Chain A
Amino acid sequence: MEELKQKLKEQIIEALNLQDTRPEDIKDDAPLFGEGLGLDSIDSLELMVLLERSYQIKVEDPREGRKILQSVQSMAEFIKSKQPA
């Protein structure tokens, strides 16, 4: 799980071009939107694309997406839940 979260942080920084942010600046449970990283609605679409391209997970329901993209922790838990045991 820790490895996945670290990888996710690196992928988020690269996908959203967060130039002045390092992986260690992103706390596992800090909100990605609004406060925290201060991402916006276009970023949420970019993160959906990231999930689809890197983890082959397609989020069909936008309401579900809101919960998944709350934090790095929630994203990692969602990815884990979709991966075969």
Chain B
Amino acid sequence: MKGKYYIQGMAAISPQHTFEGDLSVQPMVISNGNMLSCVEPDYKAFIPGNSLRRMSRILKMGLTTALRCLQDSGIETPGAIVTGTGKGSLQDTEKFIKEIRDYKETALNPTPFIQSTYNAVNGLIALQQKCTQYNNTFVHRGFSFENALLDSMLLLHEGTANVLAGAFEEITAEHFYIKSRIGQWKSEHISNDTLYKHFSPGTISGEGAAFFILGPSPTTNTYAELAGLKMLYKPSPEKLAASLQTFISHEEIDMVLTGRNADTNYDQYYQVVDQQLSGIPQLPFKHLCGEYDTAGAFALWLGAQLLKTQQLPAQWFPMLQQPPAKLRNILIYNNFFGEQHVFMLLKGI
């Protein structure tokens, strides 16, 4: 990979207590009913009340995570804002569409329409931070966040001083129901802490927002180096195996963060990783955040956190028998319902 890319600040709102505090003492949040919802902070500490009143949940989550990430990095105005989202604001989209039906295409509220656009979060960040630089949102299902990352890396390569890159996703009851009709979720009701004991078709849904400040050189606050990124669209298991072999050698990896989600429909891909990287500890993360288009952003946040702190919160990973003595390189592998597959390599500093 050309160039060097470092995570210099980050923040996440997720179904776990990831926004603030010491991760090692946070208990795992357990949810029943196959739908994980975010643990949300007090937004008033980040967003003026007069702006807050109009924002829907995903906008508050996205903007607050971005602002917390900027705080963490010590950067006020980033050189670019690049994000990814698979669905954007579902709540606003649903409201707007229902109003079209209820009011027969007349007397429509402008707010849900404005906020239903995918780039609304980026616009709010830019307005609040007075950032008039490059601003882009990628909407490519399971590649949304990864394309934002790729664009950020290209910007850094071209000389942008730093980039605010992130992702945000929400789940609503309506969208959960729609996706349950096409079998995305398990038919049996389970809690997230028992996910891997229910090996059956479908998985559990989730949501979250994660933001990162990426820069071309390390600082004292650097979490990790993003040393590799590869995307594959609908590969065969053989193609996936070949790509993994060229992406990284077995010896280089201390641990794999895997998007394994107990869905038998697509487990053959995770079995490729099992075979190819046998003997290397694997940690699944979907029991913490659920499945959604930009879950890769949560994995990147988690991997970078583990590399910086060198601590694995044992209460979050009861499946881990023997943690690695030292974490230097973490491979992230994730796929979104068998279609979009991603490898990311994180290196410790």
**Which A residues lie at the B interface, using CB under 8 A?**
16-20, 38, 42, 45-46, 49, 52-53
Main secondary structure of the interface of B (DSSP, over half): loop
CA distance A20 to B50 in the complex (A): 10
Over the window 99-133 of chain B, the binary record of Cβ atoms lying under 8 Å from chain A Cβ atoms (1 yes, 0 no) is 00001001111110010000000000000000000
What residues on B are CB-neighbors of A45 within 8 Å? 109-110
Q: Does the CB pair B103–A20 fall under 8 Å?
A: no
With both chains docked as a complex, state the minimum distance between the C-beta of B98 and any C-beta of chain A, in angstroms: 14
Known A46-B111, A49-B108; contact A38-B50, beta-carbon cutoff 8 A: yes
CA distance A45 to B275 in the complex (A): 59
Q: Which 8 A-B pairs have the closest CB atoms?
A: A52-B107, A17-B53, A45-B110, A53-B107, A49-B107, A49-B109, A19-B53, A42-B110
Q: Does the CB pair A20–B49 fall under 8 Å?
A: yes
**Which B residues lie at the A interface, using CB under 8 A?**
49-50, 53-54, 103, 106-111, 114
Given contacts A16-B53, A17-B53, 13 further A-B contacts (CB under 8 A): A16-B54, A17-B54, A18-B53, A19-B49, A19-B53, A20-B49, A42-B111, A42-B114, A46-B109, A46-B110, A46-B111, A49-B107, A53-B103
CB nearest neighbor in A for B110: A45
Q: List 10 A-B contacts (CB under 8 A).
A: A16-B53, A18-B53, A19-B49, A42-B114, A45-B110, A46-B110, A46-B111, A49-B107, A49-B110, A53-B107
With both chains docked as a complex, state the minimum distance between the C-beta of A50 and any C-beta of chain B, in angstroms: 9
Residue of B50, B53, B106 near A52 (CB, 8 A) is B106
Residue of B49, B54, B103 near A42 (CB, 8 A) is B54
CB nearest neighbor in B for A20: B49
CA distance A46 to B112 in the complex (A): 11
CA distance A52 to B50 in the complex (A): 25
CA distance A19 to B103 in the complex (A): 26
Q: Which of A17, A20, A49 has the most CB of B within 10 A?
A: A49
CB nearest neighbor in A for B108: A49
CB nearest neighbor in B for A38: B50
CA distance A38 to B109 in the complex (A): 19
CB nearest neighbor in A for B114: A42
What residues on B are CB-neighbors of A46 within 8 Å? 109-111
What residues on B are CB-neighbors of A52 within 8 Å? 106-107
What residues on B are CB-neighbors of A19 within 8 Å? 49, 53
CA distance A17 to B114 in the complex (A): 16
Q: Which of B108, B109, B114 has the most CB of A within 10 A?
A: B109
CA distance A6 to B186 in the complex (A): 50
What residues on A are CB-neighbors of B106 within 8 Å? 52
What residues on B are CB-neighbors of A18 within 8 Å? 53
CA distance A19 to B110 in the complex (A): 19
